[in-house]
Amino acid sequence: MENIIELILQARDGNDEAFSLLCDQYSSLIDSMSFKYSAMCSDEFSSKDDFVQEAKMAFYKAVLAYDVSNGKVTFGAYAKVCIRNRLVSCVRKNLSKKRRKGKEDAQAQDMWSLQDTVVQRELGEKLISVAESTLSGYEKKIFSYYLEGRRAKEISSILGKSEKSVNNAIYRIRSKLKRTVN
């Protein structure tokens, strides 16, 4: 672990070799996550190489932002979360492009695919049952739209609620699920 911290500090100081060594040590994480998320979007809008590049950029930002004095979270866990968040955003962006292109049939299929894949792989069956038993009816609707990749403004329009109400519900959903999972 100390070796990783040293490499992180050197990479922050502009040492390209230290960053390359970090990339080598975490290459399996970068590659596996890139493959997993690129499989969700196998079409003309993206490729595995795009996801690998996005994952490497997220990894670089993780190196820059990681709190080396925090002993509670390992760098590997922190980097994994950073990479996952970036790749989920890429998947959402990809699906948004499809919607704008008017591919309604593909959109419906991809939305269900995204929801099933992300929920089942990342959050697992436990999270779904926790959401069912913990969230209110309103929060369940918002959670469903949110998993489809919709933004608060769009959800508020669909439900006829204020954007602030939707944002508050999203915050409550996150809080409830975090409390239950931790």
Q: What is the CATH number of the domain that holds 174?
A: 1.10.10
Strand ranges (E), the chain: none
Q: Helix, strand or coil for residue 43?
A: strand
Residue 136 shares a structural domain with residue 49: no
Domain boundary among 102, 131, 162: 102
What is the average per-residue pLDDT within 8-36? 89
Domain boundary among 102, 128, 157: 102
Task: Give 62-121 pLDDT, tens digit per residue.
Answer: 988 888 887 788 888 889 998 888 888 888 887 776 666 655 555 555 555 555 555 455
Residue 8 shares a structural domain with residue 58: yes
What confidence category does residue 157 fall into, taking pLDDT thresholds of 50, 70 and 90? very high
Count how many domains the chain has: 2
What is the extent of the structural domain holding 5? 1-102
Give the rounded percent of residues in the chain with a pLDDT score beyond 70: 77
Residue 130 shares a structural domain with residue 90: no
Q: How far is CA 96 from CA 20, 78, 104, 108, in A?
A: 33, 27, 11, 12
What is the average per-residue pLDDT within 146-167? 89
Domain boundary among 77, 102, 127: 102
Residue 7 shares a structural domain with residue 42: yes
Residue 91 shares a structural domain with residue 128: no
Q: How far apart are CA 101 and CA 67, in angstroms?
A: 41
What is the average per-residue pLDDT within 162-177? 89
**Structure confidence at residue 33 (pLDDT):** 85
* 26, β-bridge pairs: none
Residue 94 shares a structural domain with residue 163: no
